[in-house]
Amino acid sequence: MKNRRSFLQLSALGIAGAVAKPSFALGSFEAPTTFPLGFAGYSFARFDIDKMIAMLQKLNVKNLSLKEIHLPLNSSNEAIEAAKKKFADGGINVYTVGVIYMRSKEAVDQAFEYARKVGVEMIVGVPNQDLLSYAEAKVKETNIRLAIHNHGPEDKLYPSPKDIYDRIKNFDPRVGLCIDIGHTLRAGVLPERTVKEYRDRLFDLHLKDVTAMAKDAKVIEIGRGAINYPAFMEALKKVNYKGVCSVEYEKDMTDPLVGMAESVGFVKGIMRG
């Protein structure tokens, strides 16, 4: 409730007033936010590249973690270049690719080659545990960072950020974490605590909200759930987080724009508040 009240107060001041009008670009006259805002590509799983770009433009969010749903891993060089031109023409910065699952050495090789062709310096990925050393070797070979993503209590590989950190803490410093804060809370861990504990390996973030600190919690618009966003943002400031805060919206995925707009407006308001 505290998160929600904070958002309503900010809205009353006009800081996030554009949330109710998703047909317009959010924040045309906004002051800069504390951290760069982005979107995880999975949020647009039901839409093609052109529609995704149009939606990002309406939301006034320019950073994208590209999911292979929109550009398959086995795409030709021509298809990759065509997609890159669409993003550039649309003002969208593809800053990473993922989440990419890696269940074999061949899959690891493919992921890093894909990232190279797309032109990004980081992969958000989930390599099998027995492939972690091989993935580290690819990081050293290519200088492409690997941010490993946690997927909650039902995930057999990396339920929480700690399950990742404990396995990679002695690896090359270019191997780190993409912390999904919704899955983190479902795993019984406060996101603001993980930010502080794993600051040295925190490369990327997936922002969402969930209804409770429970395995069966449901995703909901950011600001309506159980995550303490003011505390989380304060933790990011304290650790001097340098990455992107990417919203991953998974509610109403066939008609998500209004919920996305509300979530983006809330996050921007909290960042400024």
Q: What is the pLDDT of residues 181-209, one digit of tens each?
A: 999 999 999 999 999 999 999 999 999 99
pTM: 0.89
What would the mean pLDDT of 243-254 be, rounded to a whole number? 97
One-letter amino acid at 88 equals: A
Element housing 270 (H / E) = helix 257-272
Q: What is the mean pLDDT of the chain?
A: 91
Residue pair 87/120 in contact (Cβ under 8 Å)? The answer is: no
- Percent share of the chain, pLDDT over 90: 87
Residue 208 to residues 84, 91, 253, 271, Cα–Cα distance (Å): 27, 24, 13, 15
d(CA 28, CA 250): 25
- Note the pLDDT of residue 11: 44
Two structure tokens written together for 99: 């989440």
Element housing 246 (H / E) = strand 245-247
Two structure tokens written together for 151: 């997927």
d(CA 103, CA 167): 17
pLDDT beyond 60 at 153: yes
In eight-state DSSP terms, residue 158 is -
Question: Band of the pLDDT at 253, cuts 50, 70, 90?
Answer: very high
d(CA 56, CA 42): 13
d(CA 8, CA 19): 11
Two structure tokens written together for 10: 């900010």
- Note the pLDDT of residue 273: 79
Total number of residues shown for the chain: 273
- Note the pLDDT of residue 31: 61
pLDDT beyond 60 at 16: no
What would the mean pLDDT of 113-120 be, rounded to a whole number? 98
pLDDT tens-digit series, residues 17-74: 344 334 444 444 466 678 999 999 999 999 999 999 999 999 999 999 999 999 999 9
Domains contained in the chain, CATH given: 2-14+37-272 (3.20.20.150)
- Note the pLDDT of residue 17: 39
pLDDT beyond 50 at 116: yes
pLDDT beyond 50 at 5: no
